[in-house]
Structure 1
Amino acid sequence: MVAIPVAWIVVISVIDVLAPPHIHLGPLLVAAPAITPSFGGPRTVGLVAALAVIAQTIIGVLRDPDELLSANHEAQILALVLVGASLVIFCVLRDRRARELAQVRYVSEAAQRVVLPPLPKRLGPLRTASLYLAAEAEAQIGGDLYAAARTVSGTRLIVGDVRGKGMTAVGDAALLIGAFRVAAHRRATLDELVAYLDRSVCWELMEPGEAGRFGETFITATILEIPDRSGQVRMISCGHPPPIVLRGGRPMTMSAARPAPPLGLGELADPRYHVESFPFEPGDLLLLYTDGVTEARDPDGTFYPLAERITGWTENDSDAFLDRFRRDLLHHVGGHLDDDAVMIAIERPAVHQT
């Protein structure tokens, strides 16, 4: 790539020297250092700018040997020096910004691995795949959350979405995940687990001295209990988008008949948690997600029609399904999400494998 601006300098210099006296092509030399930052760093830009200055000096000497350098050529040389110096400074600042951005990405990826690691590929007899798509270009984690815990008879999962954005939402998500991991093994029933999580959000996410500010922080969530043996999945929905079971390419939305309020509003609503159930048989695929999926818009403003898009998909492998799901969602929005999105695919194999 460096050969392009160098060749440009050589061509312009030769033509300018051989051209009639009234034709001056020297100002075109500025294009050489101007295009170099697109592929080169400060040193490369400085080298090309220096070559352009040398070329302009040679042109001036050869065209006006009697006067050595005319005022016009001196002005062009000064302009090349100023442009070259400005471009070098620009490249230094750009590279510094790139290093800072790389550090931010490294830290965010490390935080994600600690706070929100991918689900294990196997949870008892279940096969799982999880994906977090962050809306922020420089971050890999936001306010969406998920976690899983094994019990003696099955698997408990939570998927949720914290109200708000930024580092506060990340902290709230981390706290709820921690509370879930602690309590999922200890709470005998699903409604007891959800009541404990609601109290955790009400009290632990509240700022000191703000006992009267209930409702400021809340988290929509779906908590599920999937038995190891085929049977009914138990679920409590706290204002979260419903799971979808894909059976033979036909999606079935498992909407809660009696949804509970989001976690963190229990002190206001005094909820009585109602446990819903739905079948999840061998060969089925269970899809969990956050509203970053269903509220994703295409350039025309149309929401992503989840159930319609996955109708007819026959991928029973959770990884293959999630990969197709990700590509289809990003294609719908044109490659960029406006909100974080979590996607989890859970497969119950048709034949139990150890």
Structure 2
Amino acid sequence: MPGESLAHIFLIFLRLGLTSFGGPIAHLGYFRDEFVTRRRWLSERGYAELVALCQFLPGPASSQVGMALGLFKRGYPGALVAWAGFTLPSAIAMILIAFGIADHASMYTSGVLHGLKVVAVAIVMQAVWGMARNLCTDAPRIAIMLVATCAVLLFPSALTQIAILVVSALCGLFLSRRINLERHESLPISVGRRAGSWWLILFFLPLVGLPLLTTLIPNHALASLAAFYRAGALVFGGGHVVLPLLQMSVVTPGWISNETFLAGYAAAQAVPGPLFTFAAFLGASMTAAPSGWSGGILCLLAIFAPSFLLIAGVLPFWEQVRRNSSAQAALAGINAAVVGLLLAALYDPVWTSAIHRPADFVLAMLAFAALMIWKLPPWLVIAGGSIAGLLLNMML
């Protein structure tokens, strides 16, 4: 799958980083539309399996999927430019907000932001519909999808999601004779298992070494690096789950006030891209050096570094596992569960945070029709949704 220049990969992800509102589940919907439906970098099945893998790993799943896609196209540089394109818009915005240069209330009025959230509903609906048609093609997988949806809605937590994926894998193995397995499709992974082993070693070294180093050399930069690396390496379930750990790491020792922390979290809801860029705001807001731009960049790199190391380290072994026939049956169950998780997320938080009145429902249905029936490009639907949201806010 060669042929994409690094500049082109960067621009693709930069556009996504500027327009991907709605949280990590919506991001996965945007990625599916861009890289499965439009560009065909991956098949529906390959994409679902990649999403499942990233759900198992600690860290921000949508950012890890983006890194993996870049890695498939152009190796390590591709992974880095994909991450940079998707992450920099929100990271820069968060640092500017920390400086007080940018006011998120003026950057994104409530109407525009609400319109973008409504469009995210349509994006996720499109993703769930398309993935269900391709991955839940028989009664066992439809049952797994529905049970996964119900379980995660009734018992919402990161541990529930992981348990669902594990149980779905076992169901796939048990029902393998009743599930029609597709032919194995190799992922275009350029990383070998030897290199993968070294990346995994590099993942664990800072996790153990940085806390020891901070006890030997008391230094705020080292302490910040250790705290944000630990947050990126140990938290399952995405951006919202990392908040308590970050709050304990930066508020308890007095690096920033609790009021500043909460204000930054509120601002993070108003910018596109991954919520983990909240780390850039925290680094820029610290009372001790490094702070400002240097502190923001340091904390941003520290919280995302574990994701890069894990993706580069795990993918070679993941591809080997996927070739096994039993693993393929398990993955069939996992893929159905992934659709169920997306369906649950379509209701909460995507739907519940965006659809509050009949006009919102009408706008969401029009956006869905624009994507599914009229085949309009997502950027045009996003632009129209932001304008419609602003107009509705002025009228109602």
TM-score for both structures, normalised by structure 1 = 0.24
Structure with more contact order per residue of length (Cα contacts < 8 Å, sep ≥ 6) = 2
Larger Rg: 1
Structure that is richer in strand per residue: 1
Q: Which has more helix, going by share of residues?
A: 2
**TM, length-normalised to structure 2:** 0.22
